[in-house]
């Protein structure tokens, strides 16, 4: 079983649509959670951190359910510029340290069309 | 701007010919990572440095080595590249900010080096 699993999509949605991505992780010791965005042939860029209480950044809302080991990302009012691959990422602390290693999901491809 | 810089952006190497990819950072982060990302796959951690301490992932082939001569620079050496090593190689940094601070820190990635093996 992969440490971080995502539905690879692709998701094809019209502008203005609401789209939701889901992710599950297997390591219950994971400490931090993120959504990254990756454009074609570019490096991943941090979209937002995910907190237990849920958090929102403009049109983006992230949720975390530690009991179910489940993370979600909701994008409202999709824009053409939202087209990208969205990577679910978990951080697990390296043993005996206070920093972590990131483990990436395969990514979910989103295409927003006019 | 402070950033993570990878050189070159594109690298073509011959099968079996050693190649070195470089990464530099101006963030003064003490942790540096190398990831390999093949087409349509997730980035996969190869190894990381915490200061001068090297940490290899268990499934990283011996063909991959790394050097970190100082805080700012880190190199990825592929001793004998095979066709299966063609990928995007991503360098990333983070800081060890203590238990509470680590919670929200993601990584800062370089733009990557796309390696082609011919």
The pLDDT, as a whole number, for residue A31 is: 82
B14: tokens are: 């011959």
Q: Which residues contact A22 (CB under 8 A, 6 or more apart)?
A: A6, A7, A70, A71, A72
Q: Minimal Cα–Cα distance from A95 to chain B, Å?
A: 11
CB contact under 8 A, B111 and A93: no
Using the structure block, give the residue that is written with the tokens 């949605």.
Answer: A13
- pLDDT by residue (tens digit) across A40-82? 989 999 899 898 888 999 999 999 999 999 999 999 999 999 9
The pLDDT, as a whole number, for residue B104 is: 52
CB contact under 8 A, A32 and B92: no
Q: Which residue in A50, A101, A43 sits closest to B3, CA to CA?
A: A43
Whether residue B39 lies within 8 A of chain A, CB to CB, comes out as no
- pLDDT by residue (tens digit) across A3-12? 999 988 899 9
Residue B50 has pLDDT above 80, yes or no: yes
Q: Which residues contact B100 (CB under 8 A, 6 or more apart)?
A: none
């Amino acid at each position: 079983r992969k440490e971080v699993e995502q539905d690879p999509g692709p998701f094809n949605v019209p502008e203005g649509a609401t789209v939701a991505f889901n992710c599950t992780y297997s390591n219950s010791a994971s400490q931090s959670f993120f959504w990254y965005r990756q454009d074609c042939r570019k490096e991943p860029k941090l979209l937002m951190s995910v907190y237990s209480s849920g958090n929102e950044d403009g049109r983006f809302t992230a949720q975390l359910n530690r009991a179910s080991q489940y993370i979600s990302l909701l994008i409202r009012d999709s824009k053409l510029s939202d087209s990208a691959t969205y990577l679910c990422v978990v951080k697990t602390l390296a043993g005996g340290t206070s920093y972590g290693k990131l483990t990436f999901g395969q990514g979910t491809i989103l295409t927003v069309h006019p | 701007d402070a950033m993570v810089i990878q050189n070159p952006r594109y690298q073509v190497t011959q099968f079996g010919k050693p190649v070195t990819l470089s990464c530099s950072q101006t963030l003064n982060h003490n942790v540096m990572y190398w990831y390999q990302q093949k087409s349509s796959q997730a980035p996969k951690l190869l190894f990381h440095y915490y200061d001068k301490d090297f940490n290899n992932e268990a499934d990283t082939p011996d063909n991959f080595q790394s050097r970190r001569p100082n805080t700012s620079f880190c190199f990825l050496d592929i001793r004998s590249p095979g066709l299966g090593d063609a990928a995007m190689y991503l360098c990333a940094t983070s800081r060890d900010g203590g238990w509470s601070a680590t919670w929200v820190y993601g990584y800062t990635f370089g733009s990557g080096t796309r390696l082609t093996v011919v």
